Structure 1
Amino acid sequence: MTSKVSSFFKYLFIIICSFISVFPFIWMIIGSTNSSSQIIAGKMSFGDQFMNNWHHTFAQTAVVQDFWNSLKIAVLVTVLSIIVSALAAYGFQIYRSRGKNWIYSIFIASMMIPFSVLMIPLYRMMTNFGLVNNAWAVVLPSILSVFLIFFFHQSLETFPIDTIESARIDGANELKIFWSVVLPQLRSTFAAAAIYSFMGAWNNYMWPLIVLQSDDQKTLPLLISGLSATTNFSIDYGIIMVLIIISTIPIFVIFLFLQKYFVQGMTGANKG
């Protein structure tokens, strides 16, 4: 009897936590079907304004252009950061060097530096390179991810070194070994890293707000945050709800296809 009561409260707790987690998404879907005044009034039932809100979103905002800007930046950051981080972690784990542990420790310690401290030096650097108001000003500082280096390094700690040594004896160079031997064995880790990197780049707000200064370069988060300025200071919450739904679609699709590998990658990385 005691075990049944205990199980009941466990499942009840899980249900409550699940509802709290899912409720904002449900509220967003419901809000997209109502008018702005109905959303402000707190209406919690589906309405008939979804098509109007959808039409106004594409008529009054540059959602297609900003969506493309966000997608372009997120894809570039994801691909480049994964390649650089995986190769760096491979070097730290596989190669033997007297000072590599010190260098790796410095990299890990740099995770404690808040980004607000780096914004001014980064902005001056982008200005000197002539990259302000360019997508590369957002992409380049995001390529080197210390967390991803740590993430790949943890996975490589359990990788059999004998396999790499055998490939070297067979005459394969290091890039060939990394591409043909290491990468296939760490597919789940790469998938988890891709989700993490894409989410961070897609939702990035503060740095793009600083370096992307023209409307044709703005990303989707900047569009949503600045929507009040494009509607003559009268906020249309119906449009905002539609934009938020659009902004969640890429992350939802990526996680839907990679969720199995994401769980495996996180578990594998933690085993190290």
Structure 2
Amino acid sequence: MTTPLLIEEAEDRVVLRLNRPEAKNAIDQEVVDLLHAACAELERSPRVALIAGSDGVFAAGADIGQLRERRRDDALRGINSGIFDRIRQLPMPTIGLVDGYALGGGAELAYACDFRIGTPRVKLGNPEAGLGILAAAGATWRLKDLVGEPLAKELLLTGRLLDAHEALGVRLLNEVVEPDELDAAGQRWADRIAQQAPLAVRLAKSVFHAPREAHPLIDDVAQAVLFETADKHHRMTAFLERRTGSTKEKK
């Protein structure tokens, strides 16, 4: 029996791959539960997370069959909004590898990632109003922060979809590559993150998302923690030694 979420683990990163090709990777309750379990592990052992789809589709949305049967109390449980917010708050960066359709809940999963890499086949947006509901799993507030109010309203209130070129133009996608290069591009981004000091990355992400009123105190506290780390001392010493060596070579 195939699992709807494939997990590929390495020492410093994890790939979470939606695997419901028969449903265009629609996000159902089982996928949500498996994503929660994966998040719990990433919270215990922080690593970069790459989130991908399969068979040329990221995620065509939440599972409409399940959504149709949900009622008031289901909405108040925040089934999808809870898992997407948990993904947003993971300690290390998340990278969405977006191919093909990323609609509704699939788009909101992509919005929850820190970075999004797409392919020319991307179709991204929120058609929920056409189904008699709203994009309640983060798009109504997160999308405005990502692309600005006018475009966010256009996507949410008219159901218009962005193609890859448009999404790249507004930086909703950080990069566009060919489909057969998507996984490698994600690994390349993870490599770049892995070259940084892990604790510095974790704290920078946390400080970035802190409420405005927490600054500048939270910046100073985080910096105080980093100033005491051996990693900071080793990296700065190596930098100074490289610079000194470079100066000697010029002489």
Q: Under a length normalisation based on structure 1, what TM-score does the superposition of the two structures give?
A: 0.22
Q: Which has the larger radius of gyration?
A: 1
Where relative contact order (Cα < 8 A, 6+ residues apart) is larger, the structure is 1
**More helix per residue:** 1
Per residue, is there more strand in 1 or in 2?
A: 2
TM-score normalized by structure 2?
A: 0.23
